[in-house]
């Protein structure tokens, strides 16, 4: 009986170790692609803003290598680009393969940032926010359907 109990404990211990090992070796990817994209996009947007604050007066495209020091542990969202032109910091990304409504990414961003209306979606050249409505023209180069973050560029 003691030997049977001992074997059972070893077996249960092995199962527990294998479950922990599996979670560490292959961590779960968020099933909600909109949540994953919105987190990456928020990190990228804030990293571009940190770059802009550290480089006031910069004009032009901002490369990923310039943003990377501000990204922390986050990966870059797909189709990401950033630029400072005409007094604005424009950041955009287009998530591939997402079948969620475009506005869902933006709503997720605004909820996670306390209602920040700097987030919108490029709808045929117009920035549309589910909260603020029409926010004007989308930045040149932002693809239709892209999530866009637009703020006034930091200056002295």
Model's pTM, two decimal places? 0.73
Sheet of 126-129, strand order: 60-62, 81-85, 88-93, 147-152, 119-123, 126-129, 133-137
Residues 6 or more apart from 38 whose CB is under 8 A from it? 105, 108, 109, 112, 147
Least confident of 25-29, 115-119, 132-136: 25-29
Distance CA 124, CA 147 (A): 12
One domain for residues 140 and 78: yes
Residue 22, pLDDT above cutoff 90: no
Name the more confident of 74 and 9: 74
Range of the domain at 5: 1-30
User: Are 62 and 139 within one domain?
Assistant: yes
Tell me: the pLDDT tens digits for 27-82? Answer: 333 456 767 787 888 899 999 999 999 999 999 999 999 999 999 999 999 889 99
Whether residue 4 sits in one domain with residue 71 = no
Query: Is residue 136 located within the same domain as residue 110?
Result: yes
Q: How far apart are CA 59 and CA 89, in angstroms?
A: 9
Residues 42 and 25 in one domain: no
Number of domains in the chain: 2
Calculate the average pLDDT of the chain.
77
Are 87 and 134 within one domain? yes
Claim to verify: residue 72 and residue 142 sit in the same structural domain? yes
């Amino acid at each position: 009986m003691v030997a049977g109990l001992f074997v059972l404990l070893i077996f249960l211990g092995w199962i527990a170790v294998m479950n922990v090992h599996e979670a560490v070796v292959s961590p779960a990817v968020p099933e909600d692609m909109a949540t994953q994209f919105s987190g990456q996009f928020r990190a990228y947007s804030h990293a571009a803003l940190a770059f802009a604050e550290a480089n006031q007066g910069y004009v032009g495209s901002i490369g990923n290598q310039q943003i990377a020091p501000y990204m922390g542990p986050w990966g870059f969202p797909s189709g990401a680009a950033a630029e400072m032109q005409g007094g604005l910091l424009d950041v955009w990304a287009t998530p591939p393969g997402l079948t969620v409504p475009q506005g869902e990414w933006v709503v997720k961003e605004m909820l996670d940032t306390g209602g920040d209306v700097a987030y919108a979606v490029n709808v045929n050249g117009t920035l549309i926010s589910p909260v603020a409505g029409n926010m004007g023209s989308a930045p040149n180069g932002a693809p239709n359907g892209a999530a866009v973050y637009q703020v006034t560029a930091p200056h002295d």
